[in-house]
Amino acid sequence: MPQKLELLYEGKGKKMFKTDDENLLITEFKDDLTAFNAEKKGSEAGKGELNCKISTEIFYLLEKEGIKTHLVETISDKEQLVKKCQIIPIEVVVRNVATGSLTKRLGIKEGTILPFSVVEFCYKNDSLGDPIINDEHCLILNLVKSEKELEFIKQIARQINSILVKFFSSKNLRLIDFKLEFGIDSDGNMILADEISPDSCRFWDSKTNEKLDKDRFRQDLGNVKMAYEEVLKRILS
Ligand code: ADP
Ligand code: UDP
């Protein structure tokens, strides 16, 4: 088992540690919660563990379905061993139902089922507030090497969406939208990195449309931890 070494980076939701293998990192999931570009801050004891477990299950499912990911192994309740990669600084958002910034930006009524899944790119840059960008912005900012790479990202994002919509619907959860991050590993392959959890997805109960994700924190709905526990329980059911 690789040795955990010094902290490489502390983000809003996770800490990334170096290991004695230069190609591997250890991700530690934090209990901290942030929203609105970290203007709103909070913490929920046990949230880190729940996200680690949820993200692990989802990454294993995606691997089983042929998606290449950074996950090597989950090594404790809140730590994963992952392949180190050069993160592509694009937040890839996939939307099935209108909510959040899409309703604000375009005036589409909350809860509208979109005629097809929409893939959006945001520039991963906290000081700019992660602005939405188009394909050409990605190219002029050199965030990707080529248009082909962008098309590949969109194609994998849609494939992940199909797998996850089907999976969550079997667990009585509607996958409303979610954010993905991709990176290039030491072999030059594009792989899915970061996490997939109620911090980065929106899940609504299939029958009641109850929100079971970070919107409970964003909108002060209460029972944040209970919602994340419910998502994990359903995933494992
Ligand atoms: P943020 O940086 O947005 O506050 P986090 O708190 O989730 O986000 O921090 C985790 C950081 O580690 C993110 O910047 C993410 O892009 C990066 N990251 C995720 N997976 C990997 C990986 N396999 N290799 C290198 N960096 C990664
Ligand atoms: N999202 C994320 N990180 C971000 C921005 C968005 O994980 O920095 C996720 C968010 O949880 C949601 C989806 O991406 O599942 C779409 O988010 P939206 O743009 O509606 O975000 P909002 O502005 O409402 O936070």
Query: Residue 151 has which token pair?
Result: 């098309």
Q: How confident is the model at residue 217 (pLDDT cuts 50, 70, 90)?
A: very high
Taking CB atoms within 8 Å and a gap of at least 24, the contacts of 207-211 are 207/172, 209/111, 209/174
Is residue 70 within 6 Å of ligand 1 at its C-beta?
yes
What is the mean pLDDT of the segment spanning 8-27? 98
Task: Note the helical H segments in 37-146.
Answer: 47-64, 100-106, 135-140
- Ligand closest to the CA atom of residue 191: 1
User: Which atom number of ligand 1 is nearest to the Cα of residue 34?
Assistant: 4
Residue with CA nearest ligand 2 atom 19: 101
CA–CA dist 196, 52 (Å, integer) = 9
Q: Which residue has the tokens 């190219």?
A: 139
The pLDDT-based confidence of 231 (bands split at 50, 70, 90) is very high
**pLDDT interval class at 194 (50, 70, 90):** very high
pLDDT of residue 116: 98
Mean pLDDT computed over 207-231: 98
Average pLDDT, stretch 111-118?
Answer: 98
Closest atom of ligand 2 to 178 CA is: 15
Whether residue 82 has its Cβ less than 6 Å from ligand 1: yes
Torsion, CA 29, CA 30, CA 35, CA 37, rounded to 10 = -80
How far apart are the C-alpha atoms of 58 and 168, rounded to whole Å? Answer: 10
State residue 47's pLDDT score.
98
What is the number of the ligand closest to the CA of 11? Answer: 1
C-alpha 144/C-alpha 141 separation (Å) is: 8
pLDDT over 90, % of the chain: 99
Ligand 2 neighbours, Cβ below 6 Å, are 91, 93, 100-102, 130, 177-179, 200-202, 214
Looking from the CA of residue 124, the nearest atom of ligand 1 is 3
Q: What are the tens digits of pLDDT across the range 47-75?
A: 999 999 999 999 999 999 999 999 999 99
pLDDT band of 201, cuts 50, 70, 90: very high
Q: Please tell me if the CB atom of residue 230 comes closer than 6 angstroms to any atom of ligand 1.
A: no
DSSP 110: T
Task: Quote the strand ranges of 162-230, DSSP E.
Answer: 173-184, 190-193, 201-205
194 within ligand 1 shell (Cβ under 6 A): yes
The answer, yes or no, to whether any atom of ligand 1 lies below 6 A from the CB of 179, is no
Which pLDDT value is given to residue 54?
Answer: 98
For residue 179, the ligand closest to its alpha carbon is 2
Residue nearest to atom 24 of ligand 2 (CA): 100
Supply the mean pLDDT for the chain. 98
Interval 68-82: pLDDT, tens: 999 999 999 999 999
Q: What is the pLDDT of residues 120-179, one digit of tens each?
A: 999 999 999 999 999 999 999 999 999 999 999 999 999 999 999 999 999 999 999 999
